[in-house]
Structure 1
Amino acid sequence: MVHVRVCREYIEKCLKIRNKQGNIVPFKMNGPQGRLYDQIKELRAQGIPVRIIVLKARQMGFSTLIEAIIFWAAATARNVAGLVMAHQDDATSNIFGMAKRYYDYLPDRLKPMQRASNARELLFASPTGSKGKQRGLDSSIRVSTAGGHGVGRSFTIKVAHLSEFAFWPGDKRDTLAGIMQAVPDEPNTMVFIESTANGYDEFKDIWDNAVSAWERGERDGWCPFFAAWWQMEEYRRPVPPGFVRTAEEEELVRLYDLDDEQLAWRRWCIKINCGGDLDLFRQEYPACPDEAFIASGSCIFDQTAIAAWRQVIKTRAAVTGMSQVYSGRTENRGRFVYEYDGLTVSGITWEPCADGEITIYKRPVEGVPYVIGADTAGDSGTAWSDFFAAHVLDNTSGEQVAVLHGKMDEDVFARQIYCLGMY
C-alpha cells in the first residue's frame, strides 16, 4: 500500500469535491478534517488498526474526508475491499457519489482500470473481456444501506465507512458486529463510525466506552474523535452593531474562548438553520460531547450549565488513601458484595475493582447526614440501553461524595444503593 505520508498529498492534489457553492474544486482539508487525518496518521504510524468513532457537528466534511481515504486505499493498492454504509438510501447514494466523482476527475495517469460499475459498487479490475497482460487492482468500494441482512458477511473488508450510525434502523449492534467480523485485525485496516448524536443509544454506549478506554491508555479499541462547531473556521459572521453578549454567551466564552464573530454565527444559525430552537442547535452543532448527547436526549436542566459543571468535575481527582469500613483496603472504585436471602441484605463487603460501578470521592464522616438520589435506566426498547445512576451528597454542604454509574439489573441496582446507604 502507498506510504501513509502520500495519502494527504494524493487527496489534496488529485481529488475533486463539490463545494457548498456547487462548484467542483480541489480537495483542501479544513481544520477539523486535518485533525482527523492527523489522528489516522498517528495510529497507522504506531502500527495500530484504525478504529475511530467520530462524534461530529453538521457540515464539517468528515464523510468527504473518510470517503477520500477509502478511495485512496482502493485506487492505489491491490485487493482492497471497501464498504460504505449509511442510514438511508439517499445518504448512501450521496456518499457513493463522492467516490465516483473522485474517479471521474482523477488525472488519467492515476486512474486504475475499471470494470463496468453500477450504483452500488466501484470495481477497480480488468475490464470484462480484456486480454491484455496488464491486470487490474481487484479492489472495490461497495455501498449498502443499514438495515439489510447479512451486510458485510460475504467478503473480507479492509476499509469501512459507517455513516450516521446513531440513526441506523434495526439492530445496530448486530449489524456492526457482522461488519467487524469481516475486518481483519491488521494494521492496514481502517473502520470509521461517524455520526451526530441521537440521544442515549448504542452510538453513545460505544462512544462512552471508547472515551473511558482511551483515558485508561488502552489503544486496541475504538479511538474517540470529537469536533465542536467552534473549531470550524468558517463558522463565524460579522458582528452586528450594538452586539452585547448574553449571560449564556459569556459562559461559552469562558469555556471555549470564543470571539464575537463566532457568537454572531451561533445566533444566526440558531435563528435561520434551526428555526430558533436552541436544543436543535445543540444537537446539530454541539460545543462539547456531553452537550451533543444531552441535547439529543431528553433533559429539563440547562445544558450549558451541565456542560460547564462536567468540565469542573473532570478536574477533580477521586479520594486516595482512604480506609474502607468493611475491607480495610484503600481503593476508591469498586462495588459492594453481599449475601441476599430474598428478603434481607447482609454481610456487606466493599470489593475494590477497576471496572466497578461505584466511585467514592470522600469517605463518610460520622454524624454527617447524607442523601442519595437515584435514576433508573430509561426504557428505549433495547436491553441495557441506558445507565443506572445514583449520587451521594453531603446534606449539609451539597458536596458530591460518591457516585454509582453502570448497567445492571434493577434488583442489583437497588441493593447496591442499599449498601451505599449502609456504608
Structure 2
Amino acid sequence: MSAQLQTADAAFDVEAIRAQFPVLAQAIRGKPLVYLDSAASAQKPEVVIQAVTDCYRHYYSNIHRGVHTLSERSTAAFERARDTVARFLNAPHAHDVIFLRGTTEATNLVAHSFVRPRLHAGDEILVTELEHHSNIVPWQLVAAEKGAKVVAAPISDRGEVDVDAFVACITERTRFIAIAHVSNVLGTLLPVAEIVAAAHARGIPVLVDGAQGVPHLAVDVQALGCDFYCFSSHKVYGPSGVGALYGRRELLAGMPPYQGGGGMIRRVSFKGSTFADAPERFEAGTPDIAGVIGCGAAIEWVEAIGLDVVAAHEHALTEYTMQRLGEVPGVRLIGTAPGKAGVVSFVMDGVHPHDIGTILDGEGVAVRVGHHCAQPLMDRFEVPATARASFGVYNTLADVDALVAAVEKVRHWFG
C-alpha cells in the first residue's frame, strides 16, 4: 500500500482532519502521540469543543419549560440535535429518538421498560458470543427476576456470526433478540438486516447495539428493520455521558416510564400521575444539555466528511494493520472476519496484554488492553485479554507503522 491512503473521496485529507483535534498535537513520554483507542472513546474535534463551550458561554439555560430567551435558545439547540440524530439514523421522526447517558442506559431502559413486562419463566433472550457486557448484563438482570434465561448464539473461529447458525438458536421460547452492529473487540460487522428479518418472521423484536456501528458506517434503521437502535456520543467524536435510543413509535407508546421526575409528566397529584408521550416520557430530569448539543455537532461534522469516506479510510487502515501485525513473529490476530470495521485485536506469545500496553505507551502509542468488557468472548477464544488497536478518521498509515515498531520492541524485550 502506498503512503497515501486511498478513500472513496480523492479530496479527503487526513492531515487536515488531524489538525482539527487539539489533543493529537502533543507528545507522550517524548514521542508523538499515536492514539489507537477510539473504540473506547474517540477524540473530539474543535467544532465539538466549541459547540459545548458556546452553549455554556452564550445561551445555557434549562430547556423546555422556560419562556425566557436563553431557555428558548437552549431548547431550540437541544431539539436541533434530536433532529440531527434522527436524520443520522434515518429514523422516521425525531420523536422516535430518546436522549440518554449512552448505549448502556439505553439498553437498560429497553430491558426494564419493554422486555421485563413481557418475560415469563422459561422464556429466552438471544444474544451472541461477541457481545459487550452492556448487551449481556441488563438482559441477565431481568431474566433472573423473571425466571428466564439469556442464550448466546455461537461465532466462528474468525469471529463471524453465521445467519443460519444464529437462526437455529431461535426457539419457541425466544422473546427478544439483542445484537451488536459491530463487535468492539473483533470489528466484525454482523448481518443485522438478515437477523432482523428472521426474527420478525417469528414475531420477535430486536435491539441493535450500535455503539461501534455509528462511528464507522452509515446507519439506516428503516433499512435494517430493527425495533431499537442505540449508540453513545463519545464513540462518534462527541461528548461522553450522552447517547441516543431509537425506538419504533408504536413500541415506545406502549412502554411505561423507566425513571420518574420532572419533564416526563402531564399531570402530577397525590392521587396519581399521568405521563408525557415519547420521547419526553423517557427523559426525566435535566439532561446534559451542552453534551447533547455537542453530540449533534459531532454528527454534523462526521456527515460533512461522509460516512462512506470514513468507512473507506478506516477499512484501508484495518487491512494494512492486519497485514503488518500478521508479519510479526509471535503475534496472533483475534478476529479475522472479512469486511471488519476499524478494530484489530491481537495477542503475543509469552507476553501479557497489559505488558504490551505499558511498553507501547512508552513509545507514545495508546491502545486498549484487557477483556474490553467482553469476558465471554475472551473465554470463547481462550485468552484472558487482548491488546486492541482501534481507529478513528484521524489515524494514518504512519500511526500503524509506529504501532508495529512498538510491537517489535515488545517482541525483542520478551524474546
Give the TM-score of the pair, scaled to structure 1: 0.29
**Structure ranking higher in helix proportion:** 2
